[in-house]
Amino acid sequence: MDGNYWKEAAEKIYQKTEKVAEKSGCKIPYSTNNGVFDDQTGNISWWANGFWAGQLWQLYGSFGGENLREIAEKIEVKLDRVFLQSRGMDHDSGFRWLMSAGANFRLTGSETSKNRLILAACDLAGRFNIAGKFIRAWNDSGDGSKAGWAIIDCMMNLPLLYLVSEIINDPRFSQIAEAHADTAAKAFVRQDGSVCHIVEFDPKTGKRLRSHGGQGYAHGSSWTRGQAWGLYGFTLSYIHAKKREYLETAQRIADRFVGRIPENGFIPVDFDQPAEPWYEDSTAAAIASCGLLELSKFAGDKYREAAETLLKKLLENRCRFDLGCDNILEKCTAAYHDSWHEGAIIYGDYFLTEAVLKLCGRETFLW
């Protein structure tokens, strides 16, 4: 596809984001209310609270704009409160701090941001279960009921460990990341290339006990955002660790994902969901596109072509570039059985932005 197409799309994203940032100030949005970004500042430990800062940094790195940088830095400072909440710290440290402090460190060399990355990585590494060789996902009420729970999403948090290993020249963080990725490849990825969302291990022995359905349609089904986390996450682990099995796992997941894209090109919440009610998740398409673009660098142009097709569908049918709403991407759904579907979710905008900038050669690599 003509490179000008992607450059024009990037310019539209930048122009709208700049205007919305001026209006929103230092909000930390997740979704919208009547088209206006909400603010998760009062829910500071929410897992997605780094993505707006990440989008601002991506566009700052590509286009400039001191206002974008200033807002992103203020969000980064706000997130310091999470470090003081043991109940707020979980496996999503990568999503929070790679997008905020990580971006700041990469683009400015900030020592303060570097310190935040190290603190976040230390906490994430502390969630590693030695017996099962996995990183625990969520906290529980103190009864230990989720002590053995891990989720596919964590593959996207591992780059925090790889990065900090590199920054401080200490292999223990990357060793934990690789150990978790090894376990995930065996315990989460099914023979057909689909993935489990949640896997429960015995936290004392490390034995795999069972899987759980999670945010997809049902136990054993194929939750599309989980597929996207898997294909992108294993690709990222291959980039950092250079283990061939990670690349092969990413390809298996990617082939399964691409092979099940519906004829209309829109991605459902779950590839196995019924015809009614049928819910869409544009975030899965955007995340998968990012993963496919990285995967194509090692495994062939067919993955790039699939990514371009998905992104073109989103840009021409699921994006709002006017100022009638703060979000860009529409038809985003967090989970099939939620009461709320097909709205705005901030990480959809982030991954759309990242993917388009990849195709322009202007992305800041945050993973």
Model pLDDT, residue 145: 92
Q: What pLDDT sits at residue 224? A: 98
Q: Is residue 367 situated within a structural domain? A: no
Separation of alpha carbons 271 and 267, rounded Å: 8
Contact present, 203 and 144 (Cβ < 8 Å):
yes
Is residue 366 in some structural domain?
Answer: no
If phi > 0 it is left, if psi is from -120 to 50 it is alpha, else beta; for residue 65 that is: left
Model's pTM, two decimal places? 0.98
Residue 121 lies in a domain: yes
Q: Is residue 29 part of a domain?
A: yes
Any idea what the CATH number is for the domain that residue 341 is in? Answer: 1.50.10.10
Give 10-residue mean pLDDT values along the chain (367 residues).
Answer: 92 98 96 98 98 98 98 98 94 98 98 98 98 96 92 98 98 98 98 98 98 96 98 98 98 98 97 97 98 98 98 98 98 97 98 98 97
**Residue 71 falls inside a structural domain:** yes
Q: Which residues contact 135 (CB under 8 A, 6 or more apart)?
A: 91, 124, 127, 128, 129, 150, 154, 157, 176, 180
Which regions of the chain does DSSP assign to beta strands (E)? 32-33, 36-37, 128-129, 134-135, 149-151, 198-201, 208-212
| Residue 43 lies inside a defined structural domain of this protein | yes
Per DSSP, 156 falls in state G
Token couple for 188: 């989460």
Q: Give the amino acid at 100.
A: S
Q: Is residue 269 part of a domain?
A: yes
Sheet holding 198-201, edge to edge: 149-151, 198-201, 208-212
What whole-number distance in Å separates Cα of residue 75 and Cα of residue 71?
6
Counting the structural domains of the chain, the total is 1
What is the per-residue pLDDT for 2?
A: 81
What is residue 120's predicted lDDT score, i.e. its pLDDT? 98
The C-alpha atoms of residue 331 and residue 281 are separated, in whole angstroms, by: 6
Residue 52 confidence (pLDDT): 98
Q: Return the sign of the alpha-carbon dihedral for residues 292, 294, 299, 300.
A: positive
Tell me which amino acid residue 296 is: S
Nearest-5° Cα angle at 140, 137 to 144: 95
Range of the domain at 73: 3-360
